[in-house]
Structure 1
Amino acid sequence: MTDYGRPLQFGMFPTPESSRAEGVLDLVEMADEEGLDLVGIQDHPYQKDFLDTWSLMGFALARTTRIRVFPDVACLPLRPPAVMAKAAASLDVLSGGRFELALGAGAFWSAITAMDGPERTPGEAAGALSEAVDVIRLMWSGERSVQYEGAHHRLAGVHPGPRPAHDIGIWLGVGGPRMLGVLGRKADGWAPSNSYFPPPTLPAMHARIDESATAAGRDPADIQRIYNVFGTIADGPGGGFLGGPVGQWVEELTGLVVETGMDTFVFGAEGDDPHQHRRWAVEVVPAVREAVARHRA
C-alpha cells in the first residue's frame, strides 16, 4: 500500500473542439466556480477540429479567477521547448501564477511530420523530452544568458525571460521505464491516463519513479501523481472501473489514493456532458476528499 500523503487535487478535461468553443469555456468557468483545482487541455495541433491548445488556455485563464490550467500534455515535437517555456511563463505572469506545464514526447508521428515536425524513434523522443526539461528550466532561470548543447535541443547565449510568477510544475505524461527514470530524477509530476495505464499497472510504475528519485537524492513524495480518468457517473449498477454510481467512484478513487499513490484526478466525460462534469465537481469530489481524510486519520 502506498499513500504519499500529498494534498488531493481535482480537475476537468474538456475537449478543445472548435465547433463548441463557447461550451468549452462554459465548462471551464463551471470548474472555476465549483472549486476544482485544475483544467487540463489535450494538445493535438494536427486535429483539424481542435482549437489551438495554447490559445484556448489563454482564454480559459482570462475567463477564470482561481483555477489553474495546463496542457494535458503538450506536444513537444511541434512546440520548441525554449519558445514553449516563454509562452508558459507569459501565461503564468498574466494569470497571477495559475499555469502548470505537462509535457509529452509525441505520438501520431505521421500527423506530426505532416505538419513539418520531426519523426523520432522512441529513443530519440525520450532523449528530446529529457533535454526539453533542462531547456525549459534554463529559460525560467533568470540568468543573464544561458547555453545548452543537446542531441536534439540547444541554446546558444539566449537571454531567458520572463520569470514565471510562481514555480511552475513540469509534469511528464510518460510510461516507459527509461522516461519514468528521467521523471524521478528531474520532473515535478507524473500525468498518465487510465485509458493507457489502468490501475493494475500503476504500482510498478510508481516503484520505478521512486527508485530513480531516491537515487537522485529526492523525496518521492515531492512528485505529484496526476491521473486523467474517463468514465460515466451513473445512477444504476456499476459497469466496470469508473462506470457506476457516485459511491463506486468514491470507493475506487479513494483506493487509488490510499493504496495506489495517486493524488490528483482530472475527469473527462464522454461528449463533454456538462451534467457529468457538474456531478463530478459537486458529488464525487467532496466525497472523495472526505473519504481520504477518514482513511488518513
Structure 2
Amino acid sequence: MSTIRGQRVGFGATYGLEPFAPARLADDARRAEALGYDLFCLSDHLNTGHPTLETWTALTWAAAATERIEVMTNVLGLPYRHPAVTAKMAETLDRLSGGRLVLGLGTGGYDREFSAFGLAERTPGQKVAALGEALEIVRGLWREPDVSFSGDHFHLDGARIEPRPPHHIPIWLGSYGPRALRLTGRTADGWIPSLTRLSLDEAVAMRDTVLNAARAAGRDPDEITCAANIVVAFGTPDPPPPAEITGGAEAIAERVTAIVEAGFTFVNAMFRDAEARERFAIEVIPLVRQATAR
C-alpha cells in the first residue's frame, strides 16, 4: 500500500525528458530506486511528433524491474482511456507491484492530442464534469461488487471488476482551473501541478483553493499531498531556460526548499539527462531535507 500521503516530504523522478531510449527504462527505474527516490513517474502524451512510450505499458515494465520505489502516471489524460478500464488497469498494476501505485489523472490539457485520435473533445466545464464522473466510476469499481452509473459523459450498467483492490489506491489530480481545484479538494488524495506552467505564487493561491474545498467538504486538508512537478538543469545557461530551475547544487536546493516550505511537500523532478538525476539525488535532496527538517 502506498506510503506517499499527507505532509511527508518526498521526491520523485519523472522520466521522459531525456532522449528516447526505451532499452534504458528498466535500468533507469532501478537506478532511481537505488538513489533513494520515492516515486518514479511517466507522463502521458501519445499523439506527438517525437518518439514516446505508451505510459501504462512502460510504467508496468518499470514496476516489474523494481522492488521499493512507487510508480505514478503523471498524469493520465482522461480521454485516452475509459475510466472503468483505467480502474481495472490500476487494480492490476497496484496488485502486481505490491501496492506501489499512485494513480495520477487529469482532464487532458492539450485538445489536439485527443481530437487527432478521434477521442472526446470537451469544453473546460465538460472536462471537469467528466473528471468528476471518472473519479466516481474508478472508486466505485474499487469498492462495490457492481456499479451502475449514468452521467453526462460515461455510462455503466452493472459493471464489476474482480478482484477489487485490497487497500486504498491514492489518486492525485493534475488540475488548474477553479472548478477542477475544488473537485481536487473534495475528492482527491493529492494535487500535482507543474511549476513549468505557473509561478510558485500562483501555485500557492491554487493550493489554498484546494485546501479550502477540502475543509468545506469536511476533510482534513493535511491528508492531501500537495506535490509539484519541476524541471531541473545543472549549470547556468545564458539565457536561462524559461520555467526551469538551474544553477549549482546549492542554488537548486534553495529553490526547491522554497517550494517545500510553500506547502508542496512532494517534489517530482524531470531532468534532461541521467547525470542530472544522479546529482539531484546525491547533492540536492540532502540539502533540502536538512533545510526543511525543522
Q: How far apart are 1:233 and its partner, in Å?
A: 2.2
1:283 CA drift (Å):
1.2
State how 1:129-208 maps to structure 2 within 5 Å. Answer: 129-141=131-143, 143-208=144-209
For residue 121 of structure 1, what is the amino acid of its counterpart? Answer: T
CA separation of 1:23 and 1:16: change in aligned 2, threshold 3 A:
farther
Distance 1:5 1:161, change over 3 A: closer
Q: 1:133 to 1:274 in 2, by over 3 A?
A: same
Structure 1 36/166 Cα, relative in aligned 2: closer, same or farther at 3 Å? farther
Matched residue count:
287
Once the two structures are overlaid, the 10-residue window that deviates more, 157-166 or 39-48, is: 157-166
Superposed displacement of residue 163, structure 1? 2.2
Letter in 2 for 1:85: A
What does 1:1-297 correspond to in 2, within 5 Å?
6-15=7-16, 19-47=20-48, 49-141=51-143, 143-234=144-235, 242-258=245-261, 260-270=262-272, 273-293=273-293, 296=294
Deviations 1:35-68 (A, max 9, x none): 1100110011213611111100110000111011
Partner amino acid, structure 1, of 2:140: L
Distance 1:8 1:222 in 2: 13
Residue type matched to 1:274 in 2?
A
Structure 1 runs (4+) greater than 6 angstroms displaced = 235-238
1:53 and 1:181 map into 2 onto residues whose CA distance is 27
Secondary structure of the 1:286 match is helix
SS of aligned partner of 1:266: strand
Coordinate RMSD, CA, aligned: 2.2
- Structure 2, gaps ≥5 residues long: none
1-structure distance, mates of 2:164, 2:62: 21
- Structure 1: distance between partners of 2:87 and 2:137: 8
**CA separation in 2, counterparts of 1:160 and 1:151?**
22
Deviations 1:261-295 (A, max 9, x none): 1011111112xx111000111111122112100xx
CA gap of 1:20–1:165, structure 2 versus 1, over 3 A, is farther
Residue 195 to residue 161, structure 1, CA distance change in 2 (3 Å): same
Specify the SS of the correspondent of 2:126: helix
Q: Which runs of 5+ in 1 are unaligned?
A: none
* TM-score, length-scaled by structure 2: 0.92
Query: What per-residue deviation string (whole Å, max 9, x for no partner) do you get for residues 179-227 of structure 1?
Result: 0000010111101111112212122111111111111001111110111
SS of 1:102's equivalent in the other structure is: strand
Counterpart CA distance in 1 for 2:235 and 2:153 is: 47
Letter in 1 for 2:290: E
Q: After TM superposition, give the deviation of residue 229 of structure 1 in Å.
A: 0.6
Structure 1 residues 148 and 189: alpha-carbon distance in aligned structure 2, compared to 1, 3 A threshold:
same
CA change 1:165–1:250 in 2 (3 A) is farther
| Secondary structure in 1 matching 2:268 | strand
Task: Report the 3-state secondary structure (helix = DSSP H, G, I; strand = E; otherwise coil) of the residue aligned with 1:12.
Answer: strand
Tell me, in whole angstroms, the C-alpha distance in 2 between the residues paired with 1:147 and 1:184: 25
2:134 is matched by which residue type in structure 1? Answer: A
Report the AA paired with residue 249 of structure 2.
V
TM-score, normalised to structure 1, is 0.91
Question: How has the CA–CA distance of structure 1 residues 164 and 283 changed in structure 2, closer, same or farther, with 3 Å as cutoff?
Answer: farther
